[in-house]
Chain A
C-alpha cells in the first residue's frame, strides 16, 4: 500500500466526483477508521501507518489517500463553546487544542484514553458513531455535533446546521451522517458543541461488586459527579469502574460515598486509557455492540450464559445506566459460525428491549446485516441511500433483509 500525500478539499472533490463512476467500496467502515475506495484509490480518515484491522484487507495493493491532511481547526470560539474543524483531525490533536482553552469535546475526552496518542480521527469516530466512557453524562456524538459539510458523490458539498448551539433551520441532516459508516458521503468538516473541562476527573474502582446494578443505582442516586460507570467482565473477573468529574469537593465526597478506591500501581486496567482499550476490543476476533434496557446489565450476563453456553464471549463491558454493552470474543471464532452467533445475540438483545450491531468480525465471515436494521426502517435506509448517493459511489449501508 503506497501512502499518498494528504490531499486538499478540492482534490478530494475532484476525485470523488470524477467522470467515471466507480463504486467506492468500504474498507474500514467496520472499524473506527472510515475508509472508501474509488478508482483504485483508497480514501481514509485514519492516520498513516496504522495497522489494518480485520475487514480492511481489501485495501491491499491500492493507492491510499488520507483525509488526515484535512485536519485544520478552522475556528474555535471559546466564548461560544463551539468549534469548526476538519474531520481528518486526530482526536488527540483536537482535544489538545481545546484543552488550551479549558474546553473539550466530551465524546472522547482525554480522560477516556480514546484520544491519548490514538491515531483515531474525528471523521472516523463520527462515521462509526463511537461513544466515550462518559456516555452516562454526555450522551453520544449526535448531542455534540451541530453541523456538518458532506462531500457528495457528484463532488459537490452540502452543508447542514450552523456553528450556533441552537438551530432548527431545515432538516437536521447532520444526524443522518453520524453513524452512517460513510455510506452517504465523506464528512469533511463539522461544527462541534463543546463543554468546559471539569476541575477534577478521576477513574476509580469498586471492589467485590457482586450486585453491580444495585451498587450502581445506589451510587448514582448520591454521587452527582458520576459521569460514567463501566462494568467489565474480563479474564474471569468482574469489576465496576466509576468515572467522577466535577469540583474537587464533590468528587471527594462521591469517592467516599461510593466506597470506591483509586487504582493500585501496576493494575493492568489502572487507567481510563487501558479501560477504554478493553472496551474498544481491538484484540477481539468478533465484537458486538449491544443495546438493552438500561436496567438489564446483570440480566444480560445471565442471559448470555444461558443462551450461548460455551460460546459466551470472554469479555463483556457495560456502560451502566446507558444500556450499552460490548461483547468481545478474544478466542478465534470460526467465520462460518459468526452469522449464527450474531443472530442469537441479536435475538437475545431484542428480548431485552434492544439491538445488537457488529463492530468487528473475521473478514471471511458472511454476516447478512451488520446493523440489524429491520422492516420499514431497513427499507427507508435503502431508500435514503439511493436518494442521497444515487450512483452508489460510497459504501452500501450494511443492512440486509435480516428478519425483514
Chain B
C-alpha cells in the first residue's frame, strides 16, 4: 500500500486529481474491454494528454515496479487491455487530436485516442479516406487499432492496419521515446513499425501514428446474394476469387444472424435464407461494372436464389447497417454472447461452419456465424446465459474447440482481434517452442522487465479465471 501511495502521489503531482482515477467505483469502468469473460480492476487509471506525460507515467511505473497497460476506448475483444495484477491503466482517450492531414502526400498524423471513423470524416473534404474499417469504427481508437492490427470488412481489398501505418512514435518501457518508420513508409533497416503494429501494447505505448490515406473510390457497387445453403454461398466466394475478382468486401451472415438482424434492424435481409453474402466493389466504373456482372453470374451459377443490387446510397447503407450491427442484434437473442475470432483458408469456410454447428449442438449452445468470408476470417458468436449452471465453462470449451479447429484446417488463432488474454493459452497450438522463443526474445528487447502489458499473448500454463459478464458488447 505504501508503494501505491507513493506512486499515486507522484502521478497526482503530474496529472492532478482530475486525471488520476483511484476510486473503486470509478475503476470498475476499466475492469475489462469488449472481452467480458475475464475482468481485473486496476490500481489506478492515469489519463495523460501528451507524449511527455505518457513518458513520465511510464517512468514512474518503472521506478515503482508497477506494471501498466495502455487503453483506448475499450472496444478490444481479446482482453488485451485487461489490467495486469497490481497494475495501472494508462488511458489515452484524451490524446484524441488529428495532428495533420497532409493531402498532397496522402497521409495523416494522429494521436492514439482518435476514433477511427473520425479520421475518415476529417479526410473526406480532401477526397481521401482511411481504409481500415473495423465494425466498431465509430467507437474504437487508432491506438487500439495499431495495437491489435485491426481489420474490418474492406480489408479484403485494402489490407489491415499494418498495411496503412507508415510511422509511429512509441514510448518504450523505460520512458524513452522512439520514432519508427518514416512518412514515406519505406525506411531502411529493421521494420520496427511493422513489428510494433499488432504487438498488443507489449512493446510500449504508441503516442503518435502516421497513416496512409487513400482516395475515395469513384464508384461503389453493393450486392446482396441470397442462398438456401451456406455451402453454396461459400462456393460462390471461392469462384469469385478464382475468376480473378477481388471485391472490396465479401461478407457472410448465416441463418441465425439473418433472423436477429431482421427482427431488430429490419434492413431487408430475406428471412428463411440459410445465408446471405454482402459483396462490395469499389473503384473505376469501367473496372467494377464488368466485375459486378461476372459476380452476379457466378453467384447465380452457385445457387443464389436472388442477387440484389443496392440501387442507391440509402439501400447500401441499410445493407451495411445489417452487417455492422449484426452482433448487437444477435446479442438481443440471449442474456450474453461471446464473439470468437479465428481464420481458416477461405476454401475451408464451409467445413468450418459445419464443425462449428456440430460443436454447438454437442455442447447445447446456439452459435451464429458472421464472417469476413472473403479472407476466411470467422466470427462465430456463442449465445449463452451466464446464470445457467456450467454454461460459461461450456462457452469456454466451445471457444477452444472452435479455435483449435481453425488451426487444424490450416488457419490461425486470430484474424483481427488479437490474442490478448483470451487466446494466450492456445498459442502452442499454432507455434512451436522455437517460434515462441523468437517472439519472447523480441519482446524483451523492447521491455526487458516485462512491465508493459504483461500476461498477454504468451501462454502461462494457467487457465484464465472466468468472470460473470456485467455487460454485453462487441463488434466484428
A→B interface (CB under 8 Å): 77-82, 102-103, 129, 131, 139-140, 142-143, 150, 152, 156-160, 162-173, 175-176, 178-180, 195-197, 224-225, 246-247, 249-250, 253, 289, 291-295, 322-324, 353-355, 357, 370-373, 375-377, 380-381, 383-384, 387-388, 397, 399
Contact of A158 among B184, B290, B416, B437 (CB under 8 A): B437
**B418 close to A373 (CB less than 8 A):** no
> Which of A131, A170, A294 is packed against the most chain B CB atoms within 10 Å?
A170
Name B193's closest neighbour in chain A (CB-CB).
A175
The interface residues of chain A lying within 8 Å CB-to-CB of B418 are 168
**A355 close to B184 (CB less than 8 A):** yes
Question: B216 within 8 Å of A by Cβ?
Answer: no
The interface residues of chain A lying within 8 Å CB-to-CB of B467 are none
* Given A170-B439, A293-B105, A249 contacting B286 (CB threshold 8 A): yes
**A164 close to B287 (CB less than 8 A):** no
Interface bits B175-219 vs A (CB < 8 Å: 1, else 0): 011111011111111111011011100000000000000000010
A-B contact pairs, 18 of them (CB 8 A): A162-B412, A163-B410, A164-B345, A164-B412, A166-B151, A168-B414, A169-B412, A289-B186, A289-B188, A293-B104, A294-B104, A294-B106, A353-B184, A371-B189, A373-B188, A376-B177, A377-B180, A397-B189
Output the least CB separation between A201 and chain B (Å): 13
Task: Tell which of B156-164, B299-307, B384-392 binds the partner.
Answer: B156-164
Question: B57 within 8 Å of A by Cβ?
Answer: no
**B191 close to A178 (CB less than 8 A):** yes
**B184 close to A354 (CB less than 8 A):** yes
Question: B172 within 8 Å of A by Cβ?
Answer: yes
CA distance A250 to B218 in the complex (A): 13
The interface residues of chain A lying within 8 Å CB-to-CB of B242 are 78-79
CA distance A156 to B172 in the complex (A): 30
The interface residues of chain B lying within 8 Å CB-to-CB of A143 are 159, 163
Question: B346 within 8 Å of A by Cβ?
Answer: yes
* Given A166-B343, A167-B412, A246-B287, A372 contacting B188 (CB threshold 8 A): yes
The interface residues of chain A lying within 8 Å CB-to-CB of B443 are 171
Question: B149 within 8 Å of A by Cβ?
Answer: yes
Q: Which residues of B from 412 to 451 have beta carbons under 8 Å from A?
A: 412-419, 423, 427, 430-432, 434-439, 441-446
B→A interface (CB under 8 Å): 104-106, 148-149, 151, 155, 159-160, 162-163, 172, 176-180, 182-192, 194-195, 197-199, 218, 238, 241-242, 244-246, 283-284, 286-287, 290, 343-347, 372, 375-377, 410-419, 423, 427, 430-432, 434-439, 441-446, 457
CA distance A370 to B246 in the complex (A): 39
For the A-B complex, the count of residue pairs with Cβ-Cβ distances under 8 Å equals 241
Output the least CB separation between B191 and chain A (Å): 4
Output the least CB separation between B154 and chain A (Å): 12
CA distance A165 to B415 in the complex (A): 9
**B416 close to A166 (CB less than 8 A):** yes
CA distance A139 to B106 in the complex (A): 14
**A168 close to B189 (CB less than 8 A):** no
**B441 close to A156 (CB less than 8 A):** no
* Given A102-B244, A179-B189, A160 contacting B159 (CB threshold 8 A): no
The interface residues of chain A lying within 8 Å CB-to-CB of B184 are 291-294, 322-324, 353-355
CA distance A150 to B434 in the complex (A): 10
CA distance A164 to B185 in the complex (A): 24
CA distance A78 to B240 in the complex (A): 11
CA distance A384 to B444 in the complex (A): 9
Please give me the 3 A-B residue pairs with the lowest Cβ-Cβ distance, nearest first. A175-B194, A196-B244, A224-B284
Given contacts A81-B246, A166-B377, A322-B184, 8 further A-B contacts (CB under 8 A): A152-B434, A159-B434, A224-B218, A291-B187, A295-B105, A323-B185, A353-B182, A384-B190
